[in-house]
Amino acid sequence: MRKPLMAGNWKMHKTISESLSFVTEFKTAVADVKDVDILICPTLVSVNAVYNEVKKSNIKVGAQNIFWEEKGAFTGEVSASMLKDAGCSYVLIGHSERRQYFGETNETVNKKTKAALSNGIIPIVCVGETLKDREENTTFEVIEKQVKEALLGFSQEEFSKLVIAYEPVWAIGTGKTATPQQAQEVHAFIRKVCFQICKNLADTIRILYGGSVKPDNVSELMKQPDIDGGLVGGASLEVESFVKLVNYSKNIHQI
Ligand code: PGA
């Protein structure tokens, strides 16, 4: 059984004090949630403060980026062991904004994923097609290449720890969600690619959906057999909506 994961990607939002006031209220509101793993990825400057606030709770903290070298003259970068030390148990890798604005490639995603895994941090490897890819009918080709190149050369043990996030670029921050069927189609395809990489682990790997996930569409998305959680931007910035997302299963039972 794959335990669902609801992850908030705060991108470049919230100061330290804003982050703390969010988590102080949020942790009480989600204290009784046991059936969903909860993750918040604040900006790097807030990571440690947020970690200290939530470390005794059911909330995990993650970073939005990582560098693959252990230490040295790499101005502006932060290593896996530093993230671990600051309280990160997860890290987002290869988010489409990082690919688009900061030149990340499948190759850098692979190195970063390796670095996270060797330091006991769970990588959330992000993949997704652009609108152009979708219109040109190359979605599956693009996704297959992203997944295979990002996960090249990993041992079975490393593979078993990974999380993949499928985020169609055209759905991020646009209010346009992939329909549950569109998302399920790609998630099932990603699981098939995982099967080609590592037969016996394809069924256990968690695949999150991201791209305008909101309280009013989360239940339908989470009902899909291959969607194991959400990577949420905008709707994770407000306590009320993120609480609703984390509690999506209650809404499903009510329907
Ligand atoms: P969004 O962002 O929920 O605001 O579309 C998702 C993401 O980029 O991870």
CATH of the domain at 186: 3.20.20.70
- Cβ–ligand 1 distance for 167 under 6 Å, the answer yes
Report long-range pairs for 70-76 (Cβ below 8 Å, ≥24 apart). Answer: 70/115
In a domain, residue 140? The reply is yes
Percentage of residues of the chain with pLDDT beyond 90: 93
**Which residue's alpha carbon is nearest to atom 3 within ligand 1?**
233
Q: At residue 200, does pLDDT exceed 50?
A: yes
Specify the ligand 1 atom closest to the Cα of 211: 5
How many angstroms separate the first and last alpha carbons of the chain? 23
Mean pLDDT of the region 16-30: 98
- Cβ–ligand 1 distance for 120 under 6 Å, the answer no
Specify the ligand 1 atom closest to the Cα of 92: 9
In a domain, residue 51? The reply is yes
**Which residue's alpha carbon is nearest to atom 7 within ligand 1?**
233
Q: At residue 24, does pLDDT exceed 80?
A: yes
In a domain, residue 255? The reply is no
Q: Indicate the pairing of strand 88-93 with strand 59-63.
A: parallel
In a domain, residue 91? The reply is yes
- Cβ–ligand 1 distance for 53 under 6 Å, the answer no
In a domain, residue 194? The reply is yes
Taking alpha carbons only, the member of 43, 44, 42 closest to residue 59 is 42
Q: Which range marks the domain in which residue 35 is found?
A: 5-246
How far is Cα 10 from Cα 78, in angstroms, rounded to an integer? 18
Which pTM was predicted?
0.96
User: In 10 A of CB 237, how many CB atoms?
Assistant: 17
Q: At residue 252, does pLDDT exceed 70?
A: no
Known catalytic residue: 253?
Answer: no
- Cβ–ligand 1 distance for 133 under 6 Å, the answer no
Q: How many domains is the chain partitioned into structurally? A: 1
Q: At residue 59, does pLDDT exceed 60?
A: yes
Residues 6+ apart with CB under 8 A from 108: 68, 94
